[in-house]
Amino acid sequence: MSKINQEHFLNDIVNYRDIFGAFDEGVIITDKNGRIMFYNKTQLQIDSVKAPPIGELVTSFYQLTRDTSLIMRCLSTQEPILNKHLLYKTRLGRTTNSICSVFPLFNEEGLVGSVCFVRDYNLLETTITSVCSRGEEALTAKSVDGLLTFSDIIGTSTAILEAVKTAKMAALTPSPVMMVGETGAGKEIFAQAMHQFGPRKDAANVTINCAAIPENLLEGILFGTVKGAFTGAIDKQGLFEKADGGTLFLDEINSMPLGLQAKLLRVIQEKKFRRVGSLDERAIDVKILSSVNEDPHAAIDEGRLRVDLFYRLGVVLLHLPSLRERREDIPLLATAFIEKFNKTLGRNVEGVSKGVEERFSRHEWPGNVRELQHIIEGAMNVVGNRRLIDLKDLPPHMIRDTAPRRTAFNAAAGFSIEGNLREGQSDIELAAITTAMERSGGNISRAAADLGLSRQLLHYKIKKYGLKRESFKKQA
């Protein structure tokens, strides 16, 4: 590259510096020889370096050769490399499990360099998020590479081992699987593991969170569109087409509008679909995984889930245990998260204190494994050079749960409670929920409104206290 062209190339990079710098993905731009010319802040975090290695060859900074480096391969072939899995090490020994896309850069004289986009699966969800300029879409489509497997599911409790056993058997058949589990219990991990374990592992794996998409956009995202179907519509594949031959995971299916549930039921039964605005039917072969974050029968009773769709999607009903149902796995999970964040945060934490162990064993974990992970990550940001995470490193709501034993008095209920304040609060909460459920005749929506709670939270508390909605219906 001539000196003039080199200067033009550098000027172009400067012009796009703010754009690339704001990317959630790592961005590396090289010249045609593989020398790093730009390196954004996200890539600094991914590679755990303090300063960008500007001017260095990628084969020098990374423990890669011209054959194993995707950037060098792209420069050699002058062809894009899309969504390729790469496990690499930096010169300093930092290991990253990534998905990379590399594109050659040309000007009027030919090849001038490459741009590489890096997603780190230790820090981010394994997703490719597409958001249209008009805010049309918010979906995730998983690439086959980089997905989690059953070996990534941590735990030795009977509850989790039974779930894994059932999931493995279900993964080998074409039948739909519906996972039932609270938020943060690991539904997406199980979905990835079933795809990887089954006969479709080499085909597409596509995920959509039905709760994250506006109702008027969801149909087009699922089934695709044809030009002219509505203002601004273009010929575009939907997720069913993208997942053809592979797996489609419909997360939080109970959040899908009922009208669209009816269309989905037809597609599943007939194995055919139409793009929005088209009269042509297209055959489809997809294994469907779905999930609900509440009791599906409660969602049916309250008119948020069609009973016929439930029976069609729930051919195999897989219960994923909450963390409260597998407390013996908490030490294993905590250890795994500590090891993970030791690497990403540069810490040397060896474990948690006895006080934290006790606090973890008593906590209700409404956010399940995801909550535990976030608490560990937060604690490791403030633990400093200490070897153990202590109570003072935990978030305030965890520390407040260690209240001393005392006497509490509830004037409205007219009784006193001797003992732990949290236990007393639980008794009062149980009494309030029982009263509200009796008044509503078991109607969750009305009871939740009376209590000032969301339906999902009330469902959780009903399960927590072992209450049965049917018993309140009989009293109505």
**pLDDT per residue of the chain (476 residues) written in tens, 0 to 9:** 444 455 555 566 655 666 677 777 899 999 999 999 999 999 998 998 989 999 999 999 999 999 899 999 999 999 998 877 788 889 888 888 787 889 998 877 788 899 999 987 544 333 333 322 223 333 333 334 468 899 999 999 999 999 999 999 999 999 999 999 998 999 999 999 999 999 999 999 999 988 877 777 888 899 998 887 766 678 888 999 999 999 999 999 999 999 999 999 999 999 999 998 888 999 999 999 999 998 899 899 889 999 999 999 999 999 999 999 999 999 999 999 999 999 999 999 999 999 999 999 999 998 999 999 999 999 999 999 999 999 999 988 787 654 333 333 333 333 333 444 444 456 667 778 888 888 888 888 888 877 877 776 788 788 777 788 877 875 43
The C-alpha atoms of residue 393 and residue 399 are separated, in whole angstroms, by 9
The domains spanning 3-120 and 129-319 adopt the same CATH topology: no
Provide the token pair at 7.
């200067």
CATH 3.40.50.300 fits 325-400, yes or no: no
Does residue 163 come out as left (phi exceeding 0), alpha (psi in the -120 to 50 range) or beta?
Answer: alpha
Nearest CA among 100, 195, 83 for reference residue 147: 195
pLDDT for the residue numbered 435: 81
- Amino acid residing at 255: S
pLDDT for the residue numbered 6: 54
Nearest CA among 65, 72, 37 for reference residue 53: 37
CATH number of the 129-319 domain: 3.40.50.300
CATH 3.40.50.10860 fits 3-120, yes or no: no
Where would I find the H helices in 346-454? 354-362, 368-382, 396-400, 421-440, 444-451
Question: 294: which DSSP letter?
Answer: S
Strand partners, 316: 177
- Amino acid residing at 307: V
Residue 466: which residues within 8 A CB-CB, separation 6 or more?
Answer: none
Q: What is the CB-side half-sphere exposure of residue 129 using CA atoms within 13 A?
A: 14
pLDDT for the residue numbered 143: 34
Q: Where are the domains of the chain?
A: 3-120, 129-319, 325-400, 407-475
pLDDT for the residue numbered 427: 64
Provide the token pair at 300.
């049916």
Model pTM score: 0.57
Q: Which long-range contacts (CB under 8 A, 24 or more apart) does 97-106 make?
A: 97/121, 97/122, 97/146, 98/46, 98/146, 99/126, 99/143, 99/145, 99/146, 100/70, 102/70, 102/71, 102/73, 102/74, 103/74, 104/74, 104/75, 104/78, 104/79, 104/80, 105/29
Chain position carrying tokens 């749960």: 401
Nearest CA among 437, 425, 440 for reference residue 468: 437
The C-alpha atoms of residue 174 and residue 315 are separated, in whole angstroms, by 10
Task: CATH number for 407-475: choose from 1.10.10.60, 3.30.470.20, 3.30.360.10, 3.40.190.120.
Answer: 1.10.10.60
